[in-house]
């Protein structure tokens, strides 16, 4: 093969003067390693702030001394500070980071899976099944120790599996889980299951239960405990690894199924794997936090603006950005109103809708 003139190689690496049209892509020259390090530092700061700020403030230094003391195997110090920092706020802040990271990753993958930038983790009906499970546990299982002895989270995950099985059965017909079939199956089955949820809430639940259900449906990180943190954290980490291993195939899928096939991607197998990974991950996330909206839609878009569409960069950047975003949002939820806590979904919707409109505006502007 003929060797290319070195100037072209430099240009391909993004060193040559760029064309005017690509002016909005300057951020791409930021090395992704530096960006990820910056995001990691930001996440650490956000986590510290999340533990520090609240109804009773704890100075940053005390936050870290308590955390380091406990991390190095120290016994709980007497007083309320250990309780507030280590038992309540650290698990909650970490859960926010895990759920945010998971939603960012799943959102990115689902958008590639159905090749639609407006897709989000809840498009394929998994969250509707989880909601049905959770609501059934809250409403039917009240006072009897939860549905079949499962907690709300267990029932939610069971519901997620139920809708996954239904969507799978419908979408696999005719072969390759085509994007259109997946979306139609997901939306139809999601609505179907939502019908059951609404029925349960209206006909069976009492007023107090209804409020509990509403809070759950809007998403909440209030249930965070150390004991319930490991499973979602492991799921997000494994999910990210599984998707990162397929990052090139995901890229190929963006250009189309036939293009991907021509690049040596087994498209049918890839779609199956993506559907399983994103569904399980969504099920786990919704089980622990309810269906927190907008994060899975907004984060991939924001990150694409900065690092472009290549999934090798987009997946880790989306994970960290989602984590930072949800940690910050949860701070707002806990501190915005003096005596009461806002559901996470309310704040993500308030932040997410304007951001989405801004992105849409920008996209239309460019298309002109």
Chain residues in the site for other proteins (CB under 8 A): 1-5, 8-9, 11-14, 16, 18-19, 21-22, 25, 28, 111-112, 115-117, 174, 244-246, 248-249, 251-252, 254-259, 261-267, 304-305, 308-310, 312, 366
| Three-state helix/strand/coil letters over the chain | CCCCCHHHHHHHCCCCCCCHHHHHHHHHHCCHHHHHHHHHHHHHHHHHHHHHCCCCCCCHHHHHHHHHHHHCCCCCCCCHHHHHHHHHHHHHHHHHHHHHHHHHHHHHHHHHHCCCCCCCCCCCCHHHHHHHHHHHHHHCCCCCCCHHHCCHHHHHHHHHHHHHHHHHHHHCCCCCCCHHHHHHHHHHHHHHHHHHHHHHHHHHCCHHHHHHHHHHHCCCCCCCCHHHCHHHHHHHHHHHHHHHHCHHHHHHHHHCHHHHHHCCCCHHHHHHHHHHHHHHHHHHHHHHHCCCCCHHHHHHHHHHHHHCCCHHHHHHHHHHHHHHHHHHHHHHHHHCCCCCCCCHHHHHHHHHHHHHHHHHHHHHHHHC
Supply the minimum distance, in Å, between the C-beta of residue 138 and other proteins. 39
Pick between residue 108 and residue 153 the one whose CB is nearest to other proteins: 108
Pick between residue 78 and residue 174 the one whose CB is nearest to other proteins: 174
Supply the minimum distance, in Å, between the C-beta of residue 79 and other proteins. 47
Supply the minimum distance, in Å, between the C-beta of residue 280 and other proteins. 19
Supply the minimum distance, in Å, between the C-beta of residue 246 and other proteins. 7
Supply the minimum distance, in Å, between the C-beta of residue 271 and other proteins. 13
Supply the minimum distance, in Å, between the C-beta of residue 100 and other proteins. 22
Q: Which residues contact 62 (CB under 8 A, 6 or more apart)?
A: 81, 85
Pick between residue 152 and residue 267 the one whose CB is nearest to other proteins: 267
Q: Tell me which residue of 152, 125, 158, 120 sits closest to 137, measured CA to CA.
A: 152
Pick between residue 79 and residue 174 the one whose CB is nearest to other proteins: 174
Pick between residue 9 and residue 71 the one whose CB is nearest to other proteins: 9
Q: Tell me which residue of 251, 319, 272 sits closest to 115, measured CA to CA.
A: 251
Pick between residue 88 and residue 170 the one whose CB is nearest to other proteins: 170
Supply the minimum distance, in Å, between the C-beta of residue 282 and other proteins. 21
Supply the minimum distance, in Å, between the C-beta of residue 107 and other proteins. 13
Q: How far is residue 308 CA from its own chain's centroid?
A: 19
Supply the minimum distance, in Å, between the C-beta of residue 27 and other proteins. 11
Pick between residue 2 and residue 203 the one whose CB is nearest to other proteins: 2
Pick between residue 25 and residue 172 the one whose CB is nearest to other proteins: 25
CB distance 292 to 323 below 8 Å: no
Pick between residue 305 and residue 349 the one whose CB is nearest to other proteins: 305
């Amino acid at each position: 093969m003929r060797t290319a003139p070195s100037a072209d190689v430099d240009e391909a690496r993004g060193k040559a003067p760029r064309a005017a049209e690509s002016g909005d892509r300057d951020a791409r020259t930021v090395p992704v390693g530096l960006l990820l390090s910056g995001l990691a530092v930001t996440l650490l700061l956000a986590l510290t702030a999340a533990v520090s700020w609240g109804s009773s403030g704890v100075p940053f230094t005390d936050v870290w001394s308590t955390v380091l003391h406990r991390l190095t195997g120290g016994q709980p110090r007497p007083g309320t500070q250990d309780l507030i920092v280590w038992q309540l706020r650290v698990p909650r802040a970490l859960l926010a980071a895990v759920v945010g990271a998971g939603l960012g990753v799943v959102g990115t993958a689902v958008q590639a899976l159905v090749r639609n930038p407006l897709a989000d983790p809840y498009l394929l009906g998994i969250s509707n099944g989880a909601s049905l499970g959770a609501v059934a546990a809250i409403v039917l299982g009240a006072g009897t120790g939860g549905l079949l002895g499962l907690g709300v989270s267990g029932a939610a995950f069971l519901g997620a599996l139920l809708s996954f099985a239904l969507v799978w059965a419908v979408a696999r017909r005719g072969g390759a889980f085509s994007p259109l079939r997946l979306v139609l199956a997901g939306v139809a089955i999601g609505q179907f299951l939502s019908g059951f949820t609404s029925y349960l809430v209206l006909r069976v639940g009492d007023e107090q239960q209804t409020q509990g259900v509403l809070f759950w449906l809007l998403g909440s990180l209030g249930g965070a405990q150390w004991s319930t943190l490991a499973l979602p954290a492991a799921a997000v980490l494994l999910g990210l690894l599984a998707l990162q291993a397929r990052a090139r195939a995901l890229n190929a899928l963006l250009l189309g199924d036939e293009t991907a096939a021509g690049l040596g991607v087994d498209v049918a197998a890839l779609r199956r794997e993506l559907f399983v990974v994103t569904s399980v991950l969504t099920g786990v996330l919704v089980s622990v936090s309810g269906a927190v909206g907008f994060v899975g839609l907004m984060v991939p878009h924001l990150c694409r603006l900065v690092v472009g569409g290549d999934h090798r960069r987009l997946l880790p950047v989306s994970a960290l950005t989602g984590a930072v975003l949800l940690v910050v949002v949860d701070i707002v939820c806990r501190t915005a109103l003096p005596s009461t806590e806002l559901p996470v979904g309310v704040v993500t919707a308030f932040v997410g809708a304007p951001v989405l409109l801004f992105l849409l505006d920008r996209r239309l502007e460019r298309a002109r």
